[in-house]
């Protein structure tokens, strides 16, 4: 199918597409037929570390990027998603099996996270108040926490991605996204859309793998990841 053929099948690291270090691939299957749709790169722990290194390298520049610029990138990505509703809905249906009508609804729902957080990016506020002793003033500022590791489940491959990526990018954080191995194509398509929308290299990195424990645990213990967002079962 054209929508499957058009999606990149490699890891997305540092703004570029690359094969897994080992050369391994994983199968993406149509749950309705059991037939293989395609194969995508199957990352190793070394690939995961490369993705984190790219996110760390991009963090300072992205944090210093004007909120209005971050906002406009997210808004452009929203517009692209809406314009490609039919292709994205079909892609989701093919890789995870939900009815096409529900997939269209998820595209609309998922895109809204980018629109919402595009507007929130320019409203990151601080505050100033008088200390309780009356002798000092307290100044509060909000800054990006740093590189984030985002782990998404198979059942809402677009919406769970935009729901996590949107606020991270709006706040000035870089991202490593590990989608469920059953549904990597939607996340890879999302990376291509954000690149088209103008997201700088290294701000978003996508690591697809069948070895989640092997890839993720070293990243959590390594100290470079500053926030984890996980949705899924055990």
Tokens of 163: 């729901």
User: Domain of 175?
Assistant: 10-122+146-230
Instruction: Note whether residue 48 is domain-resident.
Output: yes
Could you list the beta-strand ranges (E) of 15-91: 16-18, 25-29, 36-41
| 4 within domain boundaries | no
Per-residue confidence (pLDDT) for residue 234, from 0 to 100? 65
Does residue 136 sit within a domain?
no
Number of domains in the chain: 1
Per-residue tens of pLDDT for the chain, all 234 residues: 789 999 999 999 999 999 999 999 999 999 999 999 999 999 999 999 999 999 999 999 999 999 999 999 999 999 999 999 999 999 999 999 999 999 999 999 999 999 999 999 999 998 999 999 999 999 999 999 999 999 999 999 999 999 999 999 999 999 999 999 999 999 999 999 999 999 999 999 999 999 999 999 999 999 999 999 999 876
CATH number at residue 57: 3.40.605.10
Residue at 137 is within a domain: no
* pLDDT at residue 1, as a whole number: 72
For residues 222 and 54, give the distance between their C-alpha atoms in angstroms, rounded to a whole number.
14
Which residues are 40's β-sheet partners? Answer: 26
In a domain, 134, yes or no: no
Q: What per-residue confidence (pLDDT) applies to 196?
A: 98
Q: Please indicate, yes or no, if residue 200 is contained in any of the structural domains.
A: yes
Instruction: Indicate whether 138 belongs to any domain.
Output: no
Residue 58 within any structural domain of the chain: yes
| Closest to 221 in 3D by CA, of 13, 44, 49 | 49
Q: Are strands 137-140 and 148-151 parallel, antiparallel or unpaired?
A: unpaired
For tokens 């995961």, the residue is 48
């Amino acid at each position: 199918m054209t929508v499957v053929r058009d999606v990149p099948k490699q890891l997305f690291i540092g703004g570029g597409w690359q094969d897994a270090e080992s050369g391994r691939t994983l199968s993406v299957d149509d749950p309705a037929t059991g037939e293989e749709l395609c194969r995508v790169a199957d990352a190793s722990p070394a690939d995961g570390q490369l993705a984190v290194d790219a996110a760390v390298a991009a963090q300072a520049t992205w944090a210093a990027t004007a909120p209005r610029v971050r906002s406009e990138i997210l808004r452009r990505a929203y517009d692209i998603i809406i314009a490609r509703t039919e292709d994205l809905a079909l892609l989701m249906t093919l890789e995870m099996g939900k009815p096409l009508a529900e997939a269209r609804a998820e595209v609309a729902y998922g895109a809204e996270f980018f629109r919402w957080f595009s507007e929130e990016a320019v409203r990151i506020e601080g505050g100033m108040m008088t200390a309780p002793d009356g002798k000092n003033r307290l100044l509060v500022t909000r800054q990006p926490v740093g590189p984030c590791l985002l782990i998404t489940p198979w059942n809402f491959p677009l919406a769970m991605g935009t729901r996590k990526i949107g606020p991270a990018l709006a706040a000035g954080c870089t991202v490593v996204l590990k989608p469920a191995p059953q549904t990597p194509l939607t996340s890879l398509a999302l990376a291509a859309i954000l690149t088209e929308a103008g997201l700088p290299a290294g701000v978003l990195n996508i690591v697809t793998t069948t070895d989640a424990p092997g890839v993720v645990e070293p990243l959590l213990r390594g100290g470079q990841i500053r926030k984890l967002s996980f949705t899924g079962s055990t």
